[in-house]
Structure 1
Amino acid sequence: MKYDHTEKAVALFTQGYNCAQSVFVAFSDVTGMDEELAKRLSSSFGAGMGRMREICGTCSGMFMVAGIIYGQGIESDDNLKAAHYQRIQYLAEEFHKRHETIICRDLLKGLAVTSTPTPEKRTEQYYKVRPCVKFVRTAAEILDRYLEENPPGGAEP
């Protein structure tokens, strides 16, 4: 099956949703999660987890989608747990290959960004200088490709 969630993820970001929400909500059709619940669940992960500038929210969004689709729930089988962690590390590495890091503060290096809880206003200037839409696009593309290569419910690990 061909997946294409990139434009929806980008549109969500340009409408004001945070980076994690943009990726996670875009895949609601695949996860089966209600979009309003998906928005609330992923709201804490934006700007590197609550604007702490840690793991990029787009990666958190990818990882949550992968957990819903491929996770085993209570993973008492160490092999299944290892296979899932391997999957998450693969997704992170694919993002890292394109942007040299998955850490928000490093992705925004050179910009005057802070870790204060108050988000920046989404103005035309914000979107001109902020590279985050590029990261949203990357995460959605990586996850679409992974889903195509490893169909949900398929025989992948």
Structure 2
Amino acid sequence: MKKATIILSFLAFQLSFAQKVKKAEVIKDNRTTEQKLELSKAQKELFNGKFEQFITALKASDKSTMESLMSDKTKSKVTDKVYENLNRDIDFKRKIVIYKTGYRSFMTGENFPMIQYKYADDQTEPSPKEIITAVFEEDGKIMGIKPYKQSDENK
């Protein structure tokens, strides 16, 4: 009888400290997950025109024109060193053509239009060795330009 009492008191003790099960709540995420895949023809023309103006100004070292084409968000963060690096990393002697278009997602959940360019003479498969990515605001202002060169070590 003592064993039965001990076992029952042990079970009662366990039940008194048992956790209550709550139903799982679904938390709605306010970020937009719907992402367009391609830019429209009008957007491509607008963004490509702004990019070409920027490249022409970069080639001529026309800082005021470059700043007028840039987004207010990034204008304050760009230094002369950034312009020098862009000038060094982009080959102005080679023709630049559109490789891909789409949208770039940021950590904030925002999506911004993006165009990736390649050099016309780069026929490397499956992707070009050198890509220049330009991210824009919807009004055509440039948020950022990043050249990327794939080295033989990255293959």
TM-score normalised by length of structure 1: 0.25
* Higher helix content, 1 or 2: 1
Considering only CA atoms, is the larger Rg found in Structure 1 or Structure 2? 2
* Higher strand content, 1 or 2: 2
Taking CA–CA contacts closer than 8 Å with sequence separation of 6 or more, which of the two structures ends up with the larger relative contact order? 1
